[in-house]
Chains A and B, each alone.
Chain A
Amino acid sequence: MKTRVITVLLLKEQGLVKTIRFKEPTYVGDPINTIRIFNEKEVDEIVLLDIGATPAGAEPNYRMIQDIAGEAFMPVGYGGGITSFEQAKRIFETGIEKVVLNAAMFDNQALIERLVGVYGAQAVVACLDIKKNLFGRYELFSHGGKRKRPVGLDDHLAALRQLNVGEVIVNSMDRDGTMSGYDLALLRHVTERIDAPVVACGGAATVDDFKQAVDVGASAVAAGSMFVFRGKHRAVLISYPERKTLTQLLP
């Protein structure tokens, strides 16, 4: 199976949370135990996003990242609060395989170029937080959805092509935490315009959603709620689809 099925975990201060449309964070527990359970479930990859760092102008929490990197058997991408090469370097030194950047893709393209130059494209991931406006146009956001970016989606995708990033996470803010399926039109729009692998994110509820994302060109699928919540009361319970189910359904 070449399609990676990624678990997205959101870090807020010391704990993990899960949001709905980037709001209403629900506490889901302690990162170390959660990662340990995901290890035993043999997940393909983890993306850990500190959703409090950039909005607060804070540095990444290196100690937490170190603990998590040391606990995880699978590749881990980290995002949140990275504004300098030194910070990224420290994160790589903890054993993290990829850095995930959103705001810096707009504000500090020299940093992106340097990171790609030093660590290789595969270690640099762009995350796009995208929301539809009232007129149905896609708009880009950073700082945990708080800062609207005056750049059009297509222009930004062109810039990412230039920067040669290794991967693009397409994160639909409208679908985040809703478990109502991915925004397939948005995914198709992006996969048609960029060669880098695209990771679908925001809205997954079932393995069927994974399949649909792959059918519109996504190379990998990511989910948060689907792997931490269960049932109508959104009870916190870590789960991951059976490997058999995934290999039957996904390329």
Chain B
Amino acid sequence: MALITDAWMPDGRKRPYRMCVRCVMDTTDPHISFDEAGVCSHCRNFETDFRPHWKPTLEGWAEFESKLAEIKAYGKGKEYDCIIGLSGGVDSSYLATKAVEWGLRPLVVHVDAGWNSELAVKNIEQIVTKLGLDLVTHVVDWEAMKELQLAFLRSDVANQDIPQDHAFFAALYNYAIKADIRYVINGTNFATESILPQGWGYDAMDARHIVAIHKQFGKKPLRNFPLISLFNYYFYFPKIRRMEIVSPLNFIPYSKQEAIYHLEKGYGWRYYGGKHYESRWTRFYQSYYLPQKFGYDKRKAHLASLIVTDQMTREEALAELEKPLVTDNELAEDKAFIAKKLGITEAELDEFIHRPPRHYKDYPTNERQLKWALRAYAVVSRAGRLIGIGKPR
């Protein structure tokens, strides 16, 4: 398997192939640009947008320690002081071990969207058992999940992970509000996931986009699917209910290799071989659907993220990209399983992959509303502070 150099362009134009000289992002990203030296826009954005917020330093730690103190003070007299979403993957598993080390008392919440691999559930079992943490699971109604995933497949958009990702976050945040636990600690981190081209798939948090695609392509009403509205996500939860999402991995040195070593050695945890491959769906989607239908190889973004944070050399990343995305055996097994689980034939699944791609902008989104809302929100929050809503500075 050689490097993928040809990708679908929404405007149909052809660009000569080019790869960044510093990372491995290339012209398969429709929006990439390069400076005179041949360094790409992702590398530049990392320096301007991410590095200033990424503080795996003493200064960052001091900042984070005051946050820890705040969380612990909030948790006085409560059974739990925060919630951690645990998928069984590297980031969230590592975070759970660190949270306990820091003296937090998290309630672990797992959202099961129906694609857990045995490795994922075993990892969750090991982590909660060895750390002595309590677990809650939100099992997404599979009939609803299936209905929405099929609607998305029929829509031919790039981000087929939207149903699953939205369910993860919506169920987690809705649960935090219901359980009245203010702090949600997540494993999001700049160290391993700062680069992800927006052109490779639309934002999973846009409920309007989801509902619109379901309305156009669904066959049954969408019941019991966890959704989070723009209003709740950007305003009601954070400002009125004062839910706060904290990403500690941005304040400590975080290396994926070390995290895996730490988890395997101390917790009987096992690695599953690729970013987000703890989900069977994601494995299929990233290793087959997306590269086949769109020419997008997400490994490039993951590897580029590791390069800009000095966890990997460009040569190592290029060697990694030469490896096949998936073996023929794995693919045959995945296809059979996924078709069966979605209640379609393998031929129908192939058909979804061979049909022409569509751009997410072909369907309704909240992009404009969101820009407007965030601007309006800046005004409101200034006014709000005068009447005591929102966070005191």
List residues of chain A with CB under 8 Å of any chain B CB.
14-15, 27-30, 32-33, 36-37, 39-41, 67, 70-71, 230-233, 235-239
Choice from A15, A30, A231 contacting B128 with Cβ under 8 Å: A231
Distance to closest chain A CB from B135 (angstroms)? 4
CA of A15 to CA of B112, assembled, Å: 14
The reply to whether the CB of B60 lies closer than 8 angstroms to some CB of chain A is: no
B112 touches A29 (CB 8 A): yes
Extra pairs beyond A30-B142, A233-B134 (18, CB < 8 Å): A15-B142, A27-B141, A29-B112, A29-B139, A32-B340, A33-B116, A33-B341, A36-B118, A37-B117, A37-B121, A232-B134, A235-B135, A235-B137, A236-B137, A237-B124, A238-B116, A239-B122, A239-B125
Specify which chain B residues have a CB less than 8 angstroms from the CB of A30 in the assembled complex. 114, 142, 341
**In the docked arrangement, what's the CA distance between A39 and B280, Å?**
15
Tell me if A14 and B125 are in contact (CB < 8 A): no
B346 within 8 A of A: no
Using CB atoms, name the residue of chain B closest to A67: B340
Docked Cα-Cα span, A178 to B43, in Å, equals 56
Of the candidates A14, A32, A237, A238, the one whose C-beta lies within 8 Å of that of B135 is A237
Instruction: Give CA–CA (A229, B136) in the complex, Å.
Output: 10
* B142 (CB) vs chain A CBs: closest residue: A30
Q: List 14 A-B contacts (CB under 8 A).
A: A14-B143, A15-B142, A29-B139, A32-B337, A32-B341, A33-B115, A36-B118, A230-B128, A233-B134, A233-B136, A235-B110, A238-B116, A239-B122, A239-B125
Instruction: Report the bound CA distance from A236 to B341 in whole Å.
Output: 19
Complex: A160 Cα to B168 Cα, angstroms: 49
- Of all chain B residues, which has the CB nearest A14? B143
Q: Is B143 touching A15 in the complex (CB atoms < 8 A)?
A: yes
| Contact yes or no, B118 A40, CB < 8 A | yes
Contact A27 B139 (CB under 8 A): yes
Task: Name the distance in Å between A156's Cβ and chain B's nearest Cβ.
Answer: 37
Query: Which single residue of chain B is at the shortest CB-CB distance from A30?
Result: B142
A237 and B134 in contact (CB under 8 A), knowing A15-B142, A37-B121?
A: no
B134 with A231: CB separation less than 8 A: yes
Whole-angstrom CA separation of A30 from B116 in the bound complex: 11
A15 to B223, CA, bound (A): 14
Q: How far is the CB of B282 from chain A (nearest CB, A)?
A: 14
Q: Which residue from chain A places its CB closest to the CB of B129 in the assembled complex? A: A230
Contact between chains at A239 and B121 (CB < 8 Å):
yes
- At the interface, is chain A mostly helix, strand, loop or mixed? mixed
Give chain B interface residues in 121-179, CB to chain A under 8 Å. Answer: 121-122, 124-125, 128, 134-137, 139, 141-143
Kindly count the residue-residue contacts between A and B in the assembled complex, taking CB atoms under 8 Å apart: 67
A-contact 0/1 string along B360-381, CB 8 Å cutoff: 0000000000000000000000
Q: Which chain A positions have C-beta within 8 A of B134?
A: 231-233, 235
CA distance A40 to B112 in the complex (A): 18
Alpha-carbon distance A150/B110, docked complex (angstroms): 46
- In angstroms, Cα B128 to Cα A27, docked, is 22
A235 contacts which of B116, B117, B136, B143 (Cβ < 8 Å)?
B136
Could you tell me the distance in whole angstroms from the C-beta of B51 to the nearest C-beta in chain A?
38
Task: List chain A residues, Cβ under 8 A from B116.
Answer: 33, 37, 238
Q: Which interface residue of A30, A231, A239 has the most chain B CB atoms within 10 A?
A: A30
Known: A14-B143, A15-B143, A32-B341. A230 touches B125 (CB 8 A): yes
Using A40-B118, A237-B135 as known contacts, say yes or no to A29 and B142 having CB atoms under 8 A apart. yes
Provide the residues of chain A in CB contact with B143, threshold 8 Å.
Answer: 14-15
Residue from B115, B118, B135, B340 within 8 A of A231 (CB atoms)? B135
Contacts of B117 in A (CB 8 A): 37, 40
User: Which B61-119 residues have C-beta < 8 A from chain A?
Assistant: 110, 112, 114-118
Nearest CB of chain B from residue A124's CB, rounded to whole Å: 29
Other-chain contact of A29, B114, B124, B280, B340 (Cβ < 8 Å): B114
- Whether B341 and A237, one on each chain, are in contact in the complex, defined by CB atoms closer than 8 angstroms, is no
A237 touches B137 (CB 8 A): yes
The reply to whether A237 and B118 contact each other, CB–CB distance below 8 Å, is no
Bound Cα distance A14, B116 (Å)? 18
Minimum C-beta distance from A6 to chain B (A): 18
- For A232, the chain B residues whose CB sits under 8 A away are 134
Q: Which residues from chain A contact B115 at a C-beta distance below 8 Å?
A: 33
Supposing A230-B135, A231-B134, A235-B110 touch, asked if A71 and B142 sit within 8 A by C-beta, the answer is no
Q: Within the assembled complex, what's the spacing in Å between the Cα atoms of A33 and B128?
A: 22
What CA separation (Å) do A29 and B121 show in the bound complex?
Answer: 13
Which residues does chain A contribute within 8 Å of B121, judged by CB atoms?
Answer: 37, 237-239
Candidates A15, A37, A71, A235; contact of B141 at CB < 8 Å: A15
For the complex, what is the distance from the CA of A84 to the CA of B143, rounded to whole Å? Answer: 30
Closest B residue to A238 by CB, please name it.
B121
Complex Cα–Cα for A229 and B121 (A): 12
CA distance A40 to B128 in the complex (A): 20
Shortest CB distance B145–A (Å): 8
Q: Which residues of chain B are within 8 angstroms of A67 by Cβ–Cβ distance?
A: 340
List the 7 closest pairs (A to B, CB-CB), nearest first: A30-B142, A40-B118, A235-B135, A235-B137, A236-B137, A37-B118, A233-B136
CA–CA, A70 and B336, complex, Å: 11
Q: Are A233 and B341 in contact (CB under 8 A)?
A: no
Nearest-CB residue, chain A, relative to B115? A33
**What residue in chain B is nearest A27 (Cβ atoms)?**
B139
Given contacts A29-B114, A33-B116, A67-B340, contact A236 B139 (CB under 8 A): yes
With a CB–CB cut-off of 8 A, which chain B residues contact A236? 112, 137, 139
CB distance from A33 to the nearest CB of B (A): 6
Please name all residues of chain A whose beta carbon is closer than 8 Å to the beta carbon of B141 when the two chains form the complex.
15, 27
Query: In the bound complex, how far is the Cα of B342 from the Cα of A33, in angstroms?
Result: 11
Specify the chain A residue showing the minimal Cβ separation from B114: A30
Contacts of B110 in A (CB 8 A): 235, 237
Contacts of A39 in B (CB 8 A): 118
Residues of A within 8 A of B128 (CB): 230-231
Least CB distance from B85 to A in Å reads 13
Question: A39 CA to B139 CA in the complex, in Å?
Answer: 20
